[in-house]
Structure 1
Amino acid sequence: MSQSQSPRSSSATKSRVVVITGLSGAGRRTAAHAMEDLGWYVVDNLPPSMVPSLVGFARQQALTKVCVVLDVRSPRLVEQLPQMFAALADAGIDHEVLFLEATDDVIVKRQESSRRPLPLQGDGRLLDAIASERSMLSAVRASAGLVIDTGRLTVHQLASRVAHAYGGDSSAMVRIAVMSFGFKNGLPIDADLVFDVRFLPNPHWVPELRPKTGLSQEVSSYVLSQPGAAEFLDQTEALLVTMAPGYVREGKRQCTVAIGCTGGKHRSTAISEALGARLTARGFRVNVTHRDLGLE
């Protein structure tokens, strides 16, 4: 546990509660450490039935930011989750779910590296345990406010995503994560919106631009000067500005926008940087990442 605020008596203090859950091996511990670094009061591996009592204690101690990390120990514990969320809602407590996941091959590789079995594995196969976890947590994933696929993220990139979503005070504006990617490497499964910029000419076919990336001024100028680039940015910016208030009204604090081209090196990178700059100028809190930059 960690706390960054001195306790003082105030049972009326309003607490914000984040529940971190998801697949074993998907990065819950890394996310929890990131929350601690942001000043959240973090409790790991607490039974769901005890979470409402924890939040009551936090209110008494004037702890306004509480994070609970829940994993899959047994089907019985997962069955307690709906009652836990209902109890928090009945108490008028703002709560949200951060769900972490990764593909089967990533989970297998990580578990083999750690040499630790999954909680549901027992004497069975690792893939069967992963499938059981996915099935048991499917309803929780569907209701999560933020889903992050950690398969291609380093621990530092995951910490950055967590910091972007939960750092600082709660804002009246939705936070926007803009991610470039390459279609040849697969769609990002944690994206809320996906846009395809392969309609723009590819700098890959310009010899002097091929070795550069969309982060360079030369490639950026080339991409943004193409017919349709400015119009795409205008309309995407307008769409997000239109949607943002609705996200806030529905309690969604984070929107992940994925911009894709063939390899994720030139067009999507340049467009993502430009869109991020526009949204920042609009007053949004924006985090721009490039999933496939550097991959061949």
Structure 2
Amino acid sequence: MSEQPEVPVPSAAPVPGPLVVVTGMTGAGRSTAAAELEDLGYYVVDNLPPSLLRDVVRLVDESRGVAQPIAVVVDVRSGSFFGSLQANLAQGATGRDATLVFLEATDDVLVRRQEAARRPHPLQAGGRLLDGLQREREVLAELRGEADLVIDTTSLNVHQLAKRIAESFGSPESTTLRIRVVSFGFKYGIPVDADFVADMRFLPNPHWIPELRPNTGRDPEVSQYVLSRDGAAEFLDAYVPVLDGVAGGYLREGKRFMRVAIGCTGGKHRSVAMTEEIVRRLRELGHEATSTHRDLGRE
């Protein structure tokens, strides 16, 4: 009896790589974000007219393979093409899962950065730099509301922004939700890119205890003091399940980033201790959670 020839088993089709679209305010750090994505292995295209987005994806698929991650930078320099971005990011339009990243900063910081670079704003039109920024905010308002990830770069330097991008996109194959819990001081302003903001000023302030004042919420004695105050445990027992439930909803809606801001007066004691405890509890629930202390060391 003759042997039957082996029938080749078709290999599984490669999974399309991610598509990251970077946009936002002029001077907010788009170039820094693009450079970091390139370092992470993304094929990066800067100043792409949105109408060419699907063409770029097709050409990369043909030349580098569908698994190649792609990042494109789109801004107001794209002129009349800019309005077509939303249509080109419609579900399934490119055949890839797309993440829209919006970078922003306060007007005074953007003006300072533009003046340092000695560049006019593309929408300035002979007027003031601030006029160009205001026009840009109006153009981008709806797009910002649809962004998957908003990063406020007001208090970030280029290295810190690169780190944020690396943390968000360093493992493209991951589909888990990334939760960042950031402590802050209200006297330095509320993080504008936060999805949730909680106020810890209802707890007694360790600042008024001489032996605790020099320390921070990372120190065990401060943490123990804060977490043992009346209302602290009750807040955590109620708030963390809310975050856990919202995280599940975010995943179901295809969102991969959640930013939680925990504030106190100066961002040194109460918010830091509570941030660390919230992260600990979220990790116990199986979430990928990290902490950042924005204003620690500013006093």
Alignment of 1:21-100 (within 5 A): 21-60=23-62, 61-62=64-65, 63-86=67-90, 89-100=92-103
Letter in 2 for 1:130: L
Q: Percent identity?
A: 54
Larger Rg: 2
**Pick aligned residue for 1:273 from 266, 273, 276:** 276
| Helix, strand or coil at the partner of 1:90 | coil
Deviation at 1:148, TM superposition (A): 1.0
Q: Which amino acid aligns with 1:20?
A: V
Paired letter, 2:165: V
Task: Tell me if structure 2 keeps the 8 A contact 1:276–1:287.
Answer: yes
So what's the TM-score if we normalise by structure 1? 0.90
Change beyond 3 A, Cα 1:174–1:224: same
Name the residue aligned to 2:180: 177
Aligned in 2, Cα 1:11/1:177: closer, same or farther, shift over 3 Å?
A: same
Structure 1 counterpart of 2:111, from 108, 112, 115: 108
Shift in Å at residue 13 of structure 1?
Answer: 4.2
Q: Compared with structure 1, are the counterparts of its residues 277 and 38 closer, same or farther at alpha carbon in structure 2 (3 Å cutoff)?
A: farther
Change in CA separation of 1:156 and 1:282 when aligned onto 2, cut-off 3 Å: farther
The CA deviation at 1:281 is 3.1
Pairing 1:133-144 to 2, within 5 Å after superposition: 133-144=136-147
Amino acid across the alignment from 2:240: E
Aligned to 2:150: 147
| 5+ residue gaps, structure 2 | 1-11
CA distance in 2, matches of 1:286, 1:193: 14
Alpha-carbon separation, structure 1, partners of 2:292 and 2:110: 22
Query: What is the CA–CA distance in structure 2 between the aligned matches of 1:236 and 1:269, rounded to whole Å?
Result: 16
How many residue pairs align between the two structures?
286
Secondary structure at the residue paired with 1:195? strand
Q: What is the 5 A alignment of 1:168-207?
A: 168-207=171-210
**2:227 equivalent among 221, 224, 227:** 224
Tell me which residue corresponds to 2:5. none
Indicate the residue corresponding to 1:7 in structure 2.
none
For residue 262 of structure 2, the aligned residue among 240, 253, 259 is 259
In 1, Cα distance between equivalents of 2:215 and 2:196: 27
Is the 2:18–2:96 Cα contact (8 Å) retained in structure 1? yes
Please list the CA deviations of residues 162-214 of structure 1 after superposition, one character each: whole Å capped at 9, or x if unmatched.
Answer: 22222213434311010111112221110001111111110011011112211
Measured against aligned partners, the alpha-carbon deviations of 1:14-40 in whole angstroms (never above 9, x if no partner) come to 131110000000011111122122222
